[in-house]
Structure 1
Amino acid sequence: MPLPLPNLDDRDYADLVEMARSLIPSECPEWTDHNPSDTGIILIELFAWLTELLLYQTNQVPEKSQEVFLQLLKGDATWKKPENQSLQAATKETILALRQRYRAVTVVDYETLVMENFKVGRVKAFENRNLTKPQPTDAGHISLVVVPQDPFAALNSTLQTDIGNFLEERRLLGTKHHVVSPEYVKVSITAELYLESGRVFDQVKAAGINQLKQFFAPLLGGENKQGWPFGRAVYISEIYQQLDQIDGVDYVKNNVVVEVESPGQGKVPLRDYQWQAHQLVQLDQPNLTHAGTHN
């Protein structure tokens, strides 16, 4: 929706005369004759009339001036409106071009530019981080974690280079960026299920495995189905919740075991793991067993 133009012609002749009259006592106290026949009043009315004409002209922006404004917006002093294009269409085209994101300044800029110009599944940018180093904290660096459309596949090196070159022209001076693959933390889940009477365990097991995989999926997981959040911890209570809502599950036995294993580390209990902001979950095949049937 276009912004409404301000009305610069909001005072008429009578307003201007009255405004000038009201200033006489404070500006010139010895002036006491305010009758229309007074020379000073005649001059006030004359100047009010001339001012009203100027205000009217101020409210009218000629086409030539609008073309000059468009030249300034485009940054091209030689630009001319095409003969087959109306001034209104040229203005709309220029404004739409200005609204398009080009510079990469904030992390949102980086994420949006990559998502709009490359076929990737998901992007997360981290400011003051250099994820190519063991100690990633680094002022002036931006790291972009790019999740491919096939999330667990390796990030294509050509795509990685293309994204880096694309952002090079758009970054701020002094900023360095790094395009990296996601760092996945393997999560294994072991749980025992009590089933409702008459349920087939293999069917319930398959539904439970699918439910957990969808919940932790990098692209469509999480509570909002927009992908499991980067750096978000895994909670056992949520695993109980996901399994309890499976059709055929009566309840989950209170001994769910969750272990995690990040790159270069062995498996550790969930409670002992410190999640990093750039990490995602890679769920191993859940180990669901039949604990019994509730009659």
Structure 2
Amino acid sequence: MPLPLPNLDDRNYADLLEEAISLIPKEYPDWTDHNPTDPGIILIEMLAWLTEMVIYRTNQIPDENQKMFLKLLNGPEWQLEGDLQAALQQTIVDLRQRYRAVSSEDFEQLVLQDWLETPTAKAFGPFGVITRAKCVSQRNLALTEPTAREEPVPGHISLLVVPQTLVDNYSLLSFDGRNDYLEIPHSDQLNFANDQDFTIEVWIRVNKVQARTQETHNSILEKGRGYGGFPYGIRYENRSGKLQVTRSDGTKFATINSTKVINDDNFHHVAFVKDSSTLYLYLDGELEGFTEDPNSDNTINNSSLYLGRRGNQSHDFQGIITQLRIWEGVRLEADIKQEMNEYLQGTEKGLVGYWNLDEGSGTIAKDKTPNQNHGTIQGASWYQPNITASLLRGLWSFLDERRLLTVRHHVVTPDYLPLRVWARLYLVAGSNAQQVQDQANQEAQAFFHPVNSQSYWDGQGWPFGRSIYVSELYQLLDRIPGVDYVEDIMIHTHDLTTTILTQPSSRPQTQITVKDTTGFAVGDTIQLDPSNSDQEYYTISSIEEGPNQLTLSSALNEAYGVGTMVVRCLSSQVNTSISNREFSVYQVTELAAGDTVRIIPTNRNPENREIESVNYSSKRITLKEPLSQTPARGTKVVQLATWREERSKPKEIGLFIQKELIRVKLRDYELVDFNVEMNLVIMEYIGNQWQLSSS
């Protein structure tokens, strides 16, 4: 008698056909003809018949063969537990999870999501979080030569990542275990009685060997003087290497000790929660233990909150403390785990104290909540962790296990383009100049921010490689309350010396009065009103610092009003000449192929040429068109325009040709730098004329 065959799928032809046709209105609503004569229905009928044949053949596979196939898919250690059908379904679900990096989206999502669950990422703590990622195919962006980075490289991909800790130029507060501490003054918001729930969260990294080993524990934080009752405390047990959270009413103590050691040179997130009469300890988002709170008397006090030692007197802690958050009320495990790696605004509901401890300098630790309970640092020092290289190696190894064998991958950070914006704002009568300037700065910082762009770019940050359009900046600044209109926006990506005219100038003057002559020197080439003209260049022949006057070697060709921008052009000198098209200069950092330069010999007229290529290692420039003569050593080379600037077609205005700046181009691996430099000229209408604002 033959063995009964298992029925893995009991659907027949009619069932499959009915199911497929029922999905048509959902998947393709425009398909309304479901008659048997419709070509699409005929195709579905054929596929239903083929599927029924596959189901029949699948039902012939014995259980043992299926088990061996499941072991092949799940690994040699896999063992069947429970029902075979359930195991088949779970394996299919697991296979649908993203693991292999095949597409660009795979690479991006793996580092944004799956990476966080790895032991390597958890060891980095908040420094292992990736906020943005972009995969660039067929490119090797790990190369340093700009031209090589632009070349297609088959079989390579480059993953651009923005670590969370780069967002704010992160710094850490380090305690040496020898009289270092942070004192936060007493506040009722930081005090919790027996009938009040709370949550304390903090990131720490413990030195395995503490400076003070004679004491059984080292205090990470505690609101107390070292005697009497206190609402909360977090300690490092230096003999066991474990963590302890505690509170006391002065006679009874409630403590929870971690089951895991924390002196492994990794960052750990600690959460101490009081929920009614039960206390909880969470370590790295996971519950470590809980206990009943026996305290019945008063746990509040008027002591400061101390970090790094106990009660300003003993039990000094050696290690790193960062991201301290104090909440009134209970934080659930899911909330703790979800937000422990995120930055907060300081205005979240229930948050009564928030110290990032990332100021980087000074002796004040700022509370970012409206309570403003700022702390004072005593002895503890700031330093910036240099972990980017280690993080990139960790990400590379993580992806190396998931890439296809034929793919070579590179994990790099973006190039951050420094951006400087100049603009002249004309204010509505009665407007506050300082408020307008402050808001303009805030809006510009958000608009260009590579990560937290607030209301711009869906809050996801400036898009990779997106060009900067001047028209958008006009719109951005023009809608700020108090601004009547905006003129002469200029954008540049270099660190330029600039000033403005404080007196109107007209042709044929040879002297101009500026706001400041600092950074300008005799012989410099300057440009006036660069926002709408690329033709007006002058050389400084003398400088009078008292009246802030620059004397030019030639007369002005047109009139310029108060507030006109004056820019010192970037320049270098010829070091060695090879030909009338090729020579080396002393400085090529700011030059690139496509830039326009002016070659200024000492004994003949200047010549303008476009750069064909730049060799950064040898500082050699090759021009597209040859000069009339080979330049001598010391010949001045002035940058007139950069390849990043795209201007409209020339417009003839009188005898002059003007070109309006349209946009500044970014490469696909570039983002705008975190801090945009805004240089705003504020004009107010005073005494029936526009004048420079005095504020």
Find the residue that maps to 1:220 and give its secondary structure.
coil
User: Which residue matches 1:151?
Assistant: 167
Match 1:271 to one of 637, 641, 645: 645
Q: 1:278 to 1:6 in 2, by over 3 A?
A: farther
Cα shift at 1:191: 0.9
User: Which residue matches 2:133?
Assistant: 123
| In 2, Cα distance between equivalents of 1:81 and 1:180 | 42
Q: 1:209 to 1:100 in 2, by over 3 A?
A: same
User: Which residue matches 1:227?
Assistant: 461
Find the residue that maps to 1:197 and give its secondary structure.
coil
| In 1, Cα distance between equivalents of 2:398 and 2:682 | 53
User: Which residue matches 1:33?
Assistant: none
Q: 1:60 to 1:109 in 2, by over 3 A?
A: closer
Map 1:11-160 onto structure 2 (within 5 A): 68=66, 71=70, 74-75=73-74, 79-83=78-82, 89-116=86-113, 117-118=115-116, 119-133=129-143, 134=145, 135-136=148-149, 137=151, 138-149=153-164, 150-151=166-167, 153=169, 156-160=388-392
User: Which residue matches 1:10?
Assistant: 14
| In 1, Cα distance between equivalents of 2:685 and 2:64 | 79
Cα shift at 1:284: 2.8
1:182 aligns with 2:414: yes
Cα shift at 1:90: 3.6
Cα deviation digits, residues 129-170 of structure 1 (max 9, x gap): 111222022221111111121336477111111001111111
User: Which residue matches 2:683?
Assistant: 291
Equivalent pair of 2:70/2:91 in contact (CA under 8 Å): no
| In 2, Cα distance between equivalents of 1:67 and 1:80 | 14
Equivalent pair of 1:107/1:126 in contact (CA under 8 Å): yes
Q: 1:60 to 1:97 in 2, by over 3 A?
A: closer
Q: 1:198 to 1:91 in 2, by over 3 A?
A: farther
User: Which residue matches 2:48?
Assistant: none
Quick one: higher RCO (CA 8 Å, sep 6+), 1 or 2? Answer: 1
| In 1, Cα distance between equivalents of 2:424 and 2:13 | 78
Higher mean displacement: 69-78 or 116-125: 69-78
CA RMSD of aligned residues (A): 3.6
Cα shift at 1:202: 0.8
Map 1:196-207 onto structure 2 (within 5 A): 196-207=428-439
| In 1, Cα distance between equivalents of 2:461 and 2:422 | 23
Cα deviation digits, residues 242-287 of structure 1 (max 9, x gap): 11222222221x2111112399316856525653211111253211
| In 1, Cα distance between equivalents of 2:77 and 2:450 | 49
User: Which residue matches 1:29?
Assistant: none
Q: 1:192 to 1:102 in 2, by over 3 A?
A: same
Gaps of 5+ in 2: 1-8, 16-52, 117-128, 170-385, 496-587, 592-638, 647-663, 689-695
| In 2, Cα distance between equivalents of 1:207 and 1:159 | 36
Cα shift at 1:87: 5.5
User: Which residue matches 2:672?
Assistant: 281
Equivalent pair of 1:146/1:182 in contact (CA under 8 Å): yes
Q: TM-score, normalised by structure 2?
A: 0.32
| In 1, Cα distance between equivalents of 2:491 and 2:396 | 37
Q: 1:61 to 1:260 in 2, by over 3 A?
A: same
Letter in 2 for 1:231: G
Q: 1:208 to 1:88 in 2, by over 3 A?
A: farther
Higher mean displacement: 270-279 or 192-201: 270-279
Letter in 2 for 1:74: L
Identity across matched positions, percent: 34
Gaps of 5+ in 1: 12-54
| In 2, Cα distance between equivalents of 1:155 and 1:124 | 20
Q: 1:114 to 1:212 in 2, by over 3 A?
A: same
Cα shift at 1:89: 4.8
Q: TM-score, normalised by structure 1?
A: 0.70
Q: 1:230 to 1:260 in 2, by over 3 A?
A: same
| In 1, Cα distance between equivalents of 2:76 and 2:106 | 29
User: Which residue matches 2:547?
Assistant: none
If each structure's strand is expressed as a fraction of its own residues, which one has the higher value? 2
Letter in 2 for 1:229: P
| In 1, Cα distance between equivalents of 2:405 and 2:426 | 60
Letter in 2 for 1:126: V
| In 2, Cα distance between equivalents of 1:63 and 1:141 | 41
If each structure's helix is expressed as a fraction of its own residues, which one has the higher value? 1
Cα deviation digits, residues 6-59 of structure 1 (max 9, x gap): 831539xxxxxxxxxxxxxxxxxxxxxxxxxxxxxxxxxxxxxxxxxxx9x959
Letter in 2 for 1:241: Q
